[in-house]
Structure 1
Amino acid sequence: MIIMKFKETDTEEIVSLFYKTVHSVNLKDYSQEQLDVWATKEEKESKINSWKISLGQNISFVAKINHKVVGFSDLTYDGYLDRLFVHKDFQGQGIASALVDMLESEAKKLNLLEIYTDSSITAKPFFKHKGYNIVRSQTVERKGVKLTNFKMRKKLKS
């Protein structure tokens, strides 16, 4: 596995990975209706365009195995870990940990004091294992459908 900085040419593969991962890995914690509003297939083209911009503006990394995108993650310059997704067929292989370690390293270089995120139910145990603490449970609404997630944060040591 290699981890590299995000390139615009990876965007379509990243968005496809996002849809497949949400609709398979998160199925154990969310209903089909919730998954359909979280990762709406009709929004795929607009998501490719918007993510090309946002991933390009953030600190973004892509994990690849044999030139195939198997994970990605990004961090805003104020310390918000926006996205962290690992391909459904590559779960539990240390990819998410490697991506988060890279983001935390970059955050320390920027002298950020903490990283915060909105974690899915599915990702909560991972973030807890990585030293993130739950700030609160929260309910977000998308297209009239409620989803539970968790505001989490980790204080960084210099």
Structure 2
Amino acid sequence: MNPPISIRSYKKGDAGALADIYRKGVERLGPRAYRPEQVAAWLSIAPSARDLDRIYCDGRFTRVALDQNGAPIGFGDLAKTGHIHFLYVDPDFAGQGIGRALVAEFLRDARCQSLETVFSDASELARPVFLRAGFKCIARQEHAISRTRIHNYHMCFAVPRGSGS
């Protein structure tokens, strides 16, 4: 059974909890799909609370999933270009529909903004969430972080016309 959650916009005081969710997600879930050196490379680019606060004050749609006590358990963002940059869920709540709920919220935001396309560069772990939401996998992408090869997937969703509101 999925826990009761709510989703709201980012607030300035959220950044520390969101940075922790990012790190915990990579540390605990990353090894399910990536080698130890890849997880270490991914962690090397983890945003700090200050980084997240700076990023999330730039006008993008940032959503925070909250547990029944109001504590952040997931987050993500949708830029005005249609790019979903981050999508992270606390490992203690992984597999309970929180990522799916956040993506659905971004698709509503995209419709309201009359965006034609929403896209993301999804990890191996996030790819199934995007596929279930109707995204298409355009390409597997290989890149390097600190000389360590790692992959993700370019995912794309065509926002249906006439579905704003």
TM class, shorter-chain normalised?
over 0.9
**Distance apart, 1:91 and its partner CA:** 1.2
Once the 2 structures are TM-superposed, how far is the Cα of residue 83 of structure 1 from its aligned partner? 0.5
Distance of 2:36 and 2:111 partners within structure 1:
38
| Structure 2 Cα separation of the partners of residues 2 and 122 of structure 1 | 23
Bigger fraction of residues in helix: 1
Alpha-carbon distance in structure 2 between the residues aligned to 1:146 and 1:104:
31
What RMSD, in angstroms, separates the aligned Cα atoms of the two structures? 1.3
CA distance in 2, matches of 1:108, 1:120: 24
TM-score if structure 1 supplies the norm length?
A: 0.93
After superposition, residues 9-158 of structure 1 pair within 5 angstroms as 9-40=13-44, 47-57=48-58, 58-65=60-67, 66-157=69-160, 158=163
Note the C-alpha offset of 1:47. 2.3
Gaps of 5+ in 1: none
Cα shift readout 1:16-53 (whole Å, capped 9, x = no counterpart): 1100011111211101111111112xx66x62212111
Number of residue pairs matched by the alignment: 155
Deviation track 1:59-108 (CA, whole Å, cap 9, x = no partner) reads: 10001111211000101001000010111000121111111111110111
Taking the aligned partners of 2:159 and 2:49, their CA distance within structure 1 comes to: 32
Any idea what SS the aligned residue of 2:125 has?
A: coil
* Structure 2: distance between partners of 1:25 and 1:55: 24
Contact 2:104 2:133 in 1 (8 A): no
Q: For the residues of structure 1 that align with 2:140 and 2:95, how far apart are their CA atoms?
A: 25
Asked if structure 2 preserves the Cα contact closer than 8 Å seen for 1:7 and 1:56, the reply is no
Task: State the identity as a percent.
Answer: 26
Q: Any unmatched runs of 5+ in structure 2?
A: none
Where does structure 1 differ by over 4 angstroms across 4 or more consecutive aligned residues? none
**Which SS does the other structure have where 2:150 is aligned?**
strand
